[in-house]
Structure 1
Amino acid sequence: MTNNKKIMSKLFYHVLISIFGFAMVYPVLWMISGSLKNNTEILNGSLSLIPPNFRWENFVTGWSGFGKITFATFFKNSFFITVVATIGTVISSACISYSFARLRYRGRKLLFTLMIMTLLLPGQILLIPQFIIYHRLGLVPSMIPLILPHFLGQAFFIFQMMQFMAGIPRELDEAAFVDGCSRYGIFRNIVFPLLKPVIVTTIIIQFYWKWDDFQGPLVYLSKPQSYTVSIALKLFADASSRTDYGAMFAMSTLSLLPVFLIFLFFNKYLTEGISTSGLKG
């Protein structure tokens, strides 16, 4: 009897989780399904995930873009901004977190406090002052304002890396220092390789945030040739003419692939702990 209760309990648990999981992923599935429908089939209110007719031409129409600018250009712009900004975030945040966690110098606590305080500021408050600064520097319109700040450290990731770095024994630093290794050498050869799990987490989160960013490109980019995917998708919704929802859903579906592939590729590293990074024994 006890075994039957355990089996029923597990069955109920898995059914309940499956229902919740399907409810969460259903909007994405509906969007993918909509990429193979025409406007009438999308707007008729049907919840069916199976298109009456598979309209693959939506992908061709969507990829052709606007004004002789194809979505290949928009994807290229998004990839460039996202990849460079992510690399900058990882390098700068790792260096700054090492400074706060491992070095001792005057003003360190004050700088750390000021950095934490920046987490309390909504991005919208900084938008106008930053725009004025970049405009006076002659960097607007361009992609530089979307990339440059990420080479100066990101408070959230700095704090995240500091917390992870606190678990790395200082004896490793001391042993390397005794062997004649400099502070830079200790960071490059010992600490940075051990940060792999938190670096992977940073890559996934930052890539997703930057790829999905709409406000930044909207403010700093004015030429269609420099638009990102997030801005280009908005161009499908035209109040003065007929919106092609099928093409918009088709390009939205393609825009999910980079984020999905990044997560799929790096997912196996998320579960790696510090014990797999050379600290055993």
Structure 2
Amino acid sequence: MQPKNLKRLIYHVIVGGFAILLLYPVFWLVMSSFKLSERIFVTADQLIPDPFVFSNYAQGWEGFGDYGFGTFITNTAIFVVLVLIGHLISCSLIAFGFARLNFAGRNFWFAIMIMTLMLPYEVVMIPQYIIFAQLEWLNSLKPLVVPAYFGHPFFIFLLVQFIRTIPRELDEAAIIDGSNIFGIYYRIILPLIVPALATTAIFTFYWTWDNLLGPVLYLNSPSKYTVSMALNMFLSNETVSNWGAMFAMSVVSLVPVFIIFFIFQRYVVEGISTSGLKG
């Protein structure tokens, strides 16, 4: 075997080994969802279920009380779409302002925005809760959705870096043709930052779909619960936890995540790599 082919073989073996190592928990979750609840942890070292049962999926899909698991998926989908629209609109506009417009204190406000990335959510959690309680927004999606329309520092920074790679000559040509600032944003910038917008959309989807702390803080009615809250309800400190149903619905909740990733993974790589070309 030639040295070049040997190196390629070693590379693929190492990468394949890491892939198996990383995917093993997911595979264990899927296999455990077909086990009897009382045998999941007793036979944790046994991947193949014995016996092989499907009742966990039926029990999990029934949900709780009058609300099936489909209701929680619908609530989460609405939540994700509203936050996604807010992030795409607000973050792209703010990033365009920082990257293309000259205004007093631009660097200062950009630095302040970046500094907010270092603030843990626990620092602002209580002040935000007090504000939303005074606005009487509790037990609704407003506290979870409205902040998304004021930008997210991580995505703003990502989009700013991407926009800075776009030549300013395109803006000048648009101005010569009679375009205004919003025309440059809509006709020039937006079409060219699609990979970065796709990256923003994908990460927003992941973080919002898995969000548990926010819905737990602001949602009280079971009819408004999200998938993450519904999964948490399968666990109980007073009675026996239904691990089988929880694992089964965890697998169901992972399906949209995997679909989105495999469809748009090219945009994730392109958006992140291109955003770092120019500071």
TM over 0.5: yes
Q: 1:241 to 1:38 in 2, by over 3 A?
A: same
Distance 1:8 1:110 in 2: 53
CA offset at residue 28 of structure 1? 0.7
Could you say what secondary structure the match of 1:119 adopts? helix
What residue number does 1:32 align with?
30
Of 86, 90, 93, 2:91 maps to 93
> Which residue identity is paired with 2:53?
R
CA offset at residue 207 of structure 1? 0.7
Q: 1:137 to 1:235 in 2, by over 3 A?
A: same
CA offset at residue 4 of structure 1? 4.1
What residue number does 1:123 align with?
121
Under a length normalisation based on structure 1, what TM-score does the superposition of the two structures give?
0.92
Distance 2:5 2:110 in 1: 52
1:19-44 CA-partner distances (Å, limit 9, x unpaired) = 22111111111101111110233121
Distance 1:120 1:179 in 2: 42
CA offset at residue 242 of structure 1? 1.4
CA offset at residue 194 of structure 1? 0.5
What residue number does 1:149 align with?
147
Q: Does 1:197 align with 2:195?
A: yes
Could you say what secondary structure the match of 1:43 adopts? coil
Structure 1 residue ranges without an equivalent (≥5): 274-281
> Which residue identity is paired with 1:223?
S
Of 245, 256, 259, 2:254 maps to 256
Of 29, 38, 41, 2:39 maps to 41
Under a length normalisation based on structure 2, what TM-score does the superposition of the two structures give?
0.93
Identity %: 44
What residue number does 1:62 align with?
60
Distance 1:249 1:66 in 2: 16
1:86-128 CA-partner distances (Å, limit 9, x unpaired) = 1110110000000111011223222212211211111110000
Distance 1:35 1:17 in 2: 28
Q: Which moved more, 1:161-170 or 1:3-12?
A: 3-12
Q: Which moved more, 1:14-23 or 1:213-222?
A: 14-23
Does the Cα contact within 8 Å between 1:141 and 1:222 map onto a contact in 2?
Answer: yes
What residue number does 2:106 align with?
108
Q: Which moved more, 1:37-46 or 1:209-218?
A: 37-46
CA offset at residue 271 of structure 1? 4.8
Q: Which moved more, 1:45-54 or 1:203-212?
A: 45-54
CA offset at residue 5 of structure 1? 4.0
CA offset at residue 12 of structure 1? 2.9
CA offset at residue 75 of structure 1? 0.5
CA offset at residue 237 of structure 1? 0.7
What residue number does 1:279 align with?
none
Distance 2:226 2:262 in 1: 23
Which structure 2 residues correspond to residues 190-269 of structure 1 after superposition, within 5 A?
A: 190-269=188-267
Distance 1:116 1:69 in 2: 41
Q: Does 1:175 align with 2:181?
A: no
Distance 1:203 1:131 in 2: 26
Distance 1:156 1:20 in 2: 28
Distance 2:129 2:259 in 1: 33
What residue number does 1:77 align with?
75
Distance 1:75 1:197 in 2: 27
What residue number does 1:276 align with?
none
CA offset at residue 6 of structure 1? 3.9
1:149-188 CA-partner distances (Å, limit 9, x unpaired) = 1100101110110001010000000001000011101100
